[in-house]
Structure 1
Amino acid sequence: MPYPPPLRPSGPRRRSLLASAAGAALLVGCTADPDPGGGSSATERARARAARDSRDLLARYDAVLAVHPGLAERLSPLRAQVAAHAAAFADGTTPTPVRSSASPSAAPAVPATEKAALAGLAAAERGLADRRAKALPAVPGELARLLASVAAAGAAHAYLLTEGAK
Structure 2
Amino acid sequence: MSYPPPQRVPSGPRRRALFASAASAALLAGCSDGGGKPGKSAGGSQSVSRRARALAARESAGMVGRYDAVIATHPQVAGRLAPLRAEVVRHMEAFGGTAAKGHTGTASPSASASASAAGEVSSTPATEKDALAELAAAERALSDRRMAALLEVPGELARLLASVAAAGAAHAYLLTEGAG
Band of TM-score, shorter chain: 0.7 to 0.9
Name the TM-score, length of structure 1 as normaliser.
0.73
Alignment pair present for 1:154 and 2:164? no
1:43-65 deviations in whole A, cap 9, x for unaligned?
10000000000000000000000
Percent of residue pairs bearing the same amino acid type: 58
Alignment pair present for 1:60 and 2:70? no
**Residues 30, 113 of structure 1: alpha-carbon distance in 2 compared, 3 angstrom cutoff:** same
Query: 1:87, CA displacement in angstroms?
Result: 0.6
State the match for 1:133 in structure 2. 147
Higher relative contact order (CA 8 A, sep 6+): 2
Secondary structure (helix, strand or coil) at the match of 1:102 reads helix
1:94-139 deviations in whole A, cap 9, x for unaligned?
xxx8833214x93531000000000000000000000000000110
State the match for 2:122 in structure 1. 108
Secondary structure (helix, strand or coil) at the match of 2:124 reads coil
**Residues 28, 119 of structure 1: alpha-carbon distance in 2 compared, 3 angstrom cutoff:** closer
More deviation in 27-36 or 134-143? 27-36
Matches within 5 A, 1:67-78: 67-78=73-84
Structure number with larger C-alpha Rg: 1
Matches within 5 A, 1:82-97: 82-90=88-96
State the match for 1:124 in structure 2. 138
Secondary structure (helix, strand or coil) at the match of 2:166 reads helix
Q: How many residues align?
A: 135
C-alpha contact 1:60 1:121 (8 A) present in aligned 2? yes
1-structure distance, mates of 2:135, 2:96 = 22
Matched to 1:60, the amino acid is: R
Query: 1:71, CA displacement in angstroms?
Result: 0.4
1-structure distance, mates of 2:89, 2:32 = 35
Secondary structure (helix, strand or coil) at the match of 1:29 reads coil
Task: Extract structure 1 runs of 4+ deviating beyond 6 A.
Answer: none
1-structure distance, mates of 2:162, 2:61 = 17
C-alpha contact 1:43 1:140 (8 A) present in aligned 2? yes
Unaligned runs of 5+ in 1: 1-25, 92-96
Matched to 1:80, the amino acid is: A
Matched to 2:78, the amino acid is: A
State the match for 1:42 in structure 2. 48
Secondary structure (helix, strand or coil) at the match of 1:31 reads coil
Name the TM-score, length of structure 2 as normaliser.
0.67
CA RMSD in angstroms comes to: 2.7
Query: 1:28, CA displacement in angstroms?
Result: 7.8
Unaligned runs of 5+ in 2: 1-30, 98-102
Structure with greater helix share of residues: 1
